[in-house]
Structure formats: C-alpha cells, structure tokens
C-alpha cells in the first residue's frame, strides 16, 4: 500500500515549491503591468481554461486520476514551470546575450518543456503507481500545459493591453492577441508537453530498461522540436508565416494527437476488460460484474440503477466499488505485463479487501440473473 508519510511528504514538498513559484509569479505580474492590465489579462486568460480542463477530464474517464494530483499539475504549470522558465531565460539573456529570436526558438522550448515535464517525471519516481500508461501521461501533461499557458497568457495579454515595442496598446490589442493564443491555439502548450507525457507513459508500460530511459528523453526532444517549430513559424517573414504554419502544421498535428489520445483511451477499455476477466478467474470479483465496469455507459447505467433502487447509500457504494475495481484492473494489467510497482501486492490486496467490504451494499441492474 502507498506509504501515507511518503504521500504527505510529496504533497507538502510540491505545495511549498508551488507557493514559492506563486510568490515569484505574483512579483513578475505586479512588475509587468498596471492593475487594470493584469485584471484584463487574467479574465481573458481564464476563458479557455475550463473547456480545456473538461477535454482532459473526458479523456480521463476510464481511470480518473486523483483530483489533488491534477490540481497539483495545474499549479505546477501555472507557478513553478513559469517561474523556472522565466529565471532560466533571464539567465540566458544576461549570461549568454542571446537574441530574442534565439530565445524564442531555442531557449524557450528547452527551458519551458523541461520545467513542465519535470512534474510528470516526479510522478514517475514518487507516484509510479498513479501512472498506468500513455493516457495518464497525456492527461498530466495536459494539466501542466494548461496551467503554464494560463499564467503565460496573463503576461502576454497584459503587455498587449499596455502596449510594448512601439505597438499601440488597449483592449483591441489584448483581444486580438487573445484570439491568437486563446481561441486559435489554446492547446499549444498541452500539445507540446504531451510528447513528454507519452514518453514517460511508454517508459512505465515497458519492461525494457533501455526503453524506460530513452522514451522520456525522446518524448522531451519531440516536445522541444514541436515547440521550437511553432515559435519559429511566428518569426517567419515578420510573423506572416504563422497562419500557414498553423493551418498546414499545427492543426493537423493537433488533430493527430487527439486521434491518438482517443485511440489510447479505447485501448485502455479493451485492456481493462482483459485484466478484470483474469481477476474473475482468480476469484477477485464476479464475472457478471465485468460488463458494468469496463464500459463507461454501462458504469453510468449501474450508478443510475443503484440510485433509483437503493438511494444515495447504494449510489455511493457503487461509485466506490467501481473505482476500486478499475484501479485493481489497471494494477493487475501491469502485473500481467511484468511492470507492476514494487508495492503491487499490498495495493492489490487493499483494493480486493475494500471491494469485499462494499459488495453487500451493491445493487446491480440485473434482470432474472442476466447482466447487459
């Protein structure tokens, strides 16, 4: 079973780091613009956040990640990754005298993707049991990227409102920039960091030591390349190359990533069915329960029936039982593949014991013993 002290220590350390990052970013924001500009930047930057989070929560429906870890990922992106990237880029400009173009195409992708990807890497080392594969890597990468884009957009939008580098400011400039960053490319940072998440997800799923080392590195390299390519397109011909690059490269690449994520989610559903079927063979649950656990519409139907027949108590029991069974299924899959975490047995026994305790309170939607 997961060590409670280790869990608390991890959360506390990440929380302290986030607090420091929040203080740094607050100082940066206050130094970068007037209160009105910051307020407008916050409002505009917040608009795409909800829909983006909703998309990743939709992807995460088979085995929902702990909400506190998703919040930590958002906070890491918003405060830690942004402040670390700003510090490293400022150091590069001061120590190496890099030009603005070099910072945009080289320094920013290297530092920002490293700062964002570090959170998923920390999960790999300290919360390995929470990472079950590629889809988890994409979800955590998405949350970090959303948080990073939110804070970065505040900076850019507030500066656009104030007006910098001989550009006229005002609400029109801020809205025009919002259309580019918040409407046309709100997925940019989650998309870039998804490559790092995929690499780490591959590492978790592999028994090969070489893959476990090289996959995260390869994912990070692809994240940097994608980020640098997008930033570079914004500099072509004074920025006129941005639209062709967006239409011909960014949109197709993003759609390909979406298709890949949906495929990964469907693959997880099939994997969960195989894993839980093997759990049935080992006596961990009943065969008739599997269909109500492996398909999302069936899960909802089981909860609706439990609520209708047994009220809130039966609904709560069904939700908890489904959650425990799904966690067991993913954990058992990793055991079958030979990639289970070190504490696999204790974790598995805890899930089975909790399911045993919940079973008397369950109300399954069965008719004459048949299960859909």
pTM for the whole structure: 0.88
Q: What angle do CA 332, 337, 342 make, to 5 degrees?
A: 65
Is residue 189 within 8 A of residue 76, CB to CB? The reply is no
Spell out a b/e string for 334-367, using b for 16 or more CB atoms within 10 Å of the CB, else e.
bbeeebbbeeeeebbebbbebbeebeeebbebee
pLDDT at 178: 92
**Phi, psi of 366, deg, nearest 5:** -110, 145
pLDDT at 75: 95
Residue ranges per structural domain of the chain: 4-233, 271-361
**Phi, psi of 367, deg, nearest 5:** -125, 115
pLDDT tens track, the chain, 372 positions: 455 556 677 788 888 899 999 998 888 888 876 888 899 999 999 999 999 999 999 988 888 889 999 999 999 999 999 999 999 988 888 887 778 888 889 999 999 999 999 999 999 988 888 888 899 999 999 999 999 999 999 999 998 888 766 666 788 889 988 998 888 888 999 999 999 999 999 999 888 999 999 999 999 999 999 999 888 888 877 666 677 777 888 888 889 998 999 898 888 889 999 999 999 999 999 999 999 998 899 999 999 999 999 999 999 999 999 999 999 999 999 999 888 887 889 999 999 999 999 999 999 987 434 444
Is residue 294 within 8 A of residue 273, CB to CB? The reply is yes
* DSSP, residue by residue, 234-272: TTGGGGTTHHHHIIIIIHHHHHHHHHHHHHHHHHHHHHH
Looking at beta carbons, which pairs linking 131-134 to residues 24 or more positions away fall under 8 Å? 131/200, 131/201, 131/204, 132/63, 132/204, 132/205, 132/268, 132/330, 132/331, 132/333, 132/334, 133/201, 133/204, 133/205, 133/264, 133/268, 134/197, 134/198, 134/201, 134/202, 134/205, 134/264
pLDDT at 371: 45
* CA neighbor of 196 nearest in space, from 220, 228, 178, 170: 220
Is residue 86 within 8 A of residue 115, CB to CB? The reply is no
Q: Hunting for tokens 């029936």 — which residue is that?
A: 305
Q: Is 165 left (phi over 0), alpha (psi -120 to 50) or beta?
A: left
CA separation for the pair 294, 231 (Å, rounded): 41
* CA neighbor of 246 nearest in space, from 179, 155, 197: 179
Judged by DSSP in three states, 163 sits in coil
pLDDT at 101: 83
């Amino acid at each position: 079973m997961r060590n409670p002290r280790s869990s608390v220590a991890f959360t506390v350390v990440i929380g302290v780091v986030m607090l420091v990052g929040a203080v740094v970013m607050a100082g940066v924001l206050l130094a970068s613009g007037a209160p009105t500009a910051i307020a407008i930047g916050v409002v505009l930057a917040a608009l795409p956040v909800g829909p983006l989070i909703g998309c990743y929560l939709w992807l995460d429906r088979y085995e929902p990640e702990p909400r506190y870890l998703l919040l930590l990922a958002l906070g890491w992106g918003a405060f830690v990754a942004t402040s670390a990237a700003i510090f490293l880029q400022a150091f590069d400009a001061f120590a190496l005298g890099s030009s603005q173009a070099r910072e945009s195409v080289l320094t920013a992708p290297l530092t920002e993707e490293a700062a964002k990807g570090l959170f998923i890497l920390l999960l790999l080392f300290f919360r390995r049991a929470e990472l079950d594969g590629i889809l988890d890597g994409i979800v955590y990468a998405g949350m970090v990227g959303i948080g990073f884009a939110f804070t970065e957009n505040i900076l850019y939008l507030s500066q656009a409102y104030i007006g910098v580098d001989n550009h006229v400011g005002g609400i029109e400039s801020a809205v025009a920039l919002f259309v580019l960053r918040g409407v046309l490319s709100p997925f940019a940072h989650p998309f870039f960091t998804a490559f790092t998440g995929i690499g780490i997800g591959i590492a978790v799923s592999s028994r090969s030591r070489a893959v476990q080392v090289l996959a995260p590195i390869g994912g990070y390299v692809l994240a940097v390349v994608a980020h640098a390519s997008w930033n570079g397109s914004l500099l072509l011909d004074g920025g006129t190359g941005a639209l062709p690059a967006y239409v011909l490269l960014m949109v197709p690449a993003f759609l390909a990533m979406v298709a890949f994520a949906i495929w990964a989610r469907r693959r997880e559903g099939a994997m969960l069915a195989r894993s839980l079927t093997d759990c049935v063979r080992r006596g961990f649950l009943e065969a008739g329960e599997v269909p109500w656990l492996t398909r999302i519409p069936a899960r909802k139907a089981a909860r609706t029936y439990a609520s209708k027949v047994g009220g809130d108590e039966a609904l709560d029991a069904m939700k908890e039982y489904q959650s425990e069974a799904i966690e067991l299924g993913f954990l058992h899959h990793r055991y079958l593949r030979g990639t289970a975490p070190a504490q696999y047995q204790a974790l598995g026994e805890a899930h089975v014991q909790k399911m045993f305790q919940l079973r008397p309170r369950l109300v399954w939607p069965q008719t004459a013993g048949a299960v859909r």
